[in-house]
Amino acid sequence: MAQMHNNLSPAEGIWSLRRLPHMDEAQFSQWQTLLEHRTGITLSAERRSFLETNLGIRMREIGCNSYQAYYEKIVSGPDAIREWSTLVDRLTVQETRFFRDPDAFRLVADYVLTRPREQLRKRPLEGWSVGCSSGEEPYTLAMVLNECMSQLELQPLFGITGSDISKPAIDKARDGLFNPRKLMGMDEELKTRYFRPAERNTVEIVKSIRERVCFTRLNVLDLDQAPMHGMNIIFCQNLLIYFRRWRRREIVRRLAERLAPGGLLVLGQGELTDWQPPGLQRLPSEHVLAWIKRQTDEE
Ligand SMILES: C[S@@+](CC[C@H](N)C(=O)[O-])C[C@H]1O[C@@H](n2cnc3c(N)ncnc32)[C@H](O)[C@@H]1O
């Protein structure tokens, strides 16, 4: 019986069998504003049913029966912070996979392979995957860097940080266990080198890669609080597409500040148009949107 699930009272259980309450225009606008204010994500009118469904599921789980009551819980309830953290995970698109954008990773490899060898030998390369979801992107970056170092016959001197607003996504990334579906399209040799079969039909990233990658929870709207500086590679794909144009620019400007001179910034195709970020030099690639940070005396 539905009443038996999720610790709902019988009355709440009956409610859970009913249809979702209708969300009126003012309520939709209130949720849109809250989500954008706190995460940067804009929800178009076409995504109202997505919002209704996901709020509805969560409201049923906790036995809350109106959008307004749930809104109050999120903005001023005693457990507001924790509840928001659960909700934000439900309202963000977390789709990802290993080597999702092969051209972009090829560009990263070219970038590393053409750096002065002496620099690579002496200073660890620092990479950052912003909006890393469950970790496939930062682990891919680690594999690419590892391949480059091995090709150059250098010690694997590099570290990658993955950051995301979603705590469950970060927890999953830290576990390093993946459904083999996430490896679809990957080179067989790389699969064998970097994954091992693990529990319940999952695959596990090998330790040598895992220990080069760390994860942290970070809202990209709070970049001021991020301790990352002097990054050699910043990879930020499929996050800014949910943001308004002015905000994308603002975030790119801030990410650029976190790059080391000569560092590489990679976004998703089409995520930033008609604007040249100051201090960055666009790389001439047809398929990848990427820039190099100018050395200060070039500015
Ligand atoms: C579609 S995934 C992209 C994953 C990966 N970058 C890729 O391209 O495969 C978007 C990720 O951005 C995260 N996200 C959304 N808003 C965010 C914010 N304000 N700060 C940090 N991460 C955010 C989501 O939690 C989600 O994991």
The least confident of 27-36, 77-86, 90-99, 289-298 is 289-298
Residues of the chain with CATH 3.40.50.150: 102-293
pLDDT digits (tens, 9 = 90+) for 167-199: 999 999 999 999 999 999 999 999 999 999 999
pLDDT digits (tens, 9 = 90+) for 71-81: 999 999 899 99
pLDDT digits (tens, 9 = 90+) for 214-244: 999 999 999 999 999 999 999 999 999 999 9
Q: Is pLDDT of 151 > 60?
A: yes
User: Ligand 1 test: best mutation among 165, 243, 265, 289, most atoms within 8 Å of CB?
Assistant: 165
The sheet that has 177-178: what strands, in order across it?
A: 177-178, 202-205, 195-198
Q: Is pLDDT of 13 > 60?
A: no
Distance CA 11, CA 251 (A): 46
- pLDDT reported for residue 152: 96
Residue whose pair of structure tokens reads 């005396």 in the numeric block = 297
Q: Is 96 in the pocket of ligand 1 (CB under 6 A)?
A: yes
* Domain 102-293: homologous superfamily in CATH: Vaccinia Virus protein VP39 (3.40.50.150)
Name the band, by pLDDT with cuts 50, 70 and 90, for residue 297. low
Q: Is 236 in the pocket of ligand 1 (CB under 6 A)?
A: no
Instruction: Return the CATH class of domain 2-92.
Output: mainly alpha
- pLDDT reported for residue 295: 85
Prediction pTM value: 0.92
Taking CA atoms, 197 is separated from 190, 193, 203, 210, in Å, by: 14, 12, 4, 15
Residues of the chain with CATH 1.10.155.10: 2-92
The least confident of 19-23, 41-45, 196-200 is 19-23
Taking the CA of residue 136 as reference, the ligand 1 atom at the shortest distance is 9
User: Ligand 1 test: best mutation among 133, 137, 182, 247, most atoms within 8 Å of CB?
Assistant: 133
Residue 39, token pair as written in the block: 């995460």
